[in-house]
Amino acid sequence: MAGLAVRMAGLTTSMARLAGRKASLVTPKAGLADRKVGLATSKAGLADRKVGLATSMAGLADRKAGLATSKAGLAGRKAGLATSKGFYLIFIITYKTTTKLCLSMYQKRIKNYIQTIKTTQYTKTLTQTKP
């Protein structure tokens, strides 16, 4: 009988171990379910990140296009500035030339006027001295 009691005790121990193993098997299954949920969440987050990356790349393309437009505008402004400088130089040259011509014309007129005045005064003095 004692052997039977020992066997029964061994069987009880074995059943307790089996129950412990079942319990330990349930815990990993629950952990696996949690990991599946976490994996789904991670996949959704990855999809969101992909969308965000696509949006970011589109924004980068827009910025590149804007930069190209800005560079083209800058080139246009430089060309306009060069044209403006050209017209300014032409204006200065024309102004200087015109000023010189006008001054020489006025100088000639003034000389002629002074010469006329001198001649007239000389004639007046001559006529006044002769009675």
> Whole-model pTM?
0.37
Largest alpha-carbon pair distance within the chain? 189
From residue 64, alpha-carbon distances to 56, 73, 78, 118 in Å are 12, 14, 21, 79
From residue 104, alpha-carbon distances to 91, 98, 111 in Å are 20, 10, 10
Per residue in 15-51, pLDDT (tens digit) is 878 877 777 766 666 667 777 777 788 888 888 888 8
Give the per-residue pLDDT at 128. Answer: 67
Q: What is the dihedral of CA 122, 124, 130, 131, to 10 degrees?
A: -170
Give the per-residue pLDDT at 22. Answer: 75
Give the per-residue pLDDT at 21. Answer: 77
DSSP state of 122: H
DSSP state of 19: H
- pLDDT average per 10 residues of sequence, the chain (131 residues): 75 79 69 75 84 88 90 89 89 88 87 83 66 54
From residue 26, alpha-carbon distances to 9, 20, 39, 49 in Å are 26, 10, 20, 34
Dig out the tokens for 29 from the structure: 């299954």
Please tell me the distance from the alpha carbon of residue 99 to that of residue 91, in angstroms, as a whole number. 12
Upper half-sphere CA count for residue 91 (Cβ side, 13 Å)? 6
